[in-house]
Amino acid sequence: MDGQALYQIATKTALELPGSEIYDFAPQWKAARVGGKWFALFTILNNEHLVTVKADPAEARALIQEFTGITTGYHMNKKHWISLHPDPDLDGQLVTELVIESYLIVVSLLPRSERPVDPADNSRALSGRSACISARI
pLDDT in tens, 65-75: 999 999 988 87
**Which CATH code for domain 3-136?**
3.90.1150.30
pTM assigned to the model: 0.87
Query: What is the layout of strands, in order, in the sheet containing 20-26?
Result: 20-26, 29-34, 37-45, 48-54, 81-84, 70-72
Q: Which is higher by pLDDT, 26 or 41? A: 41
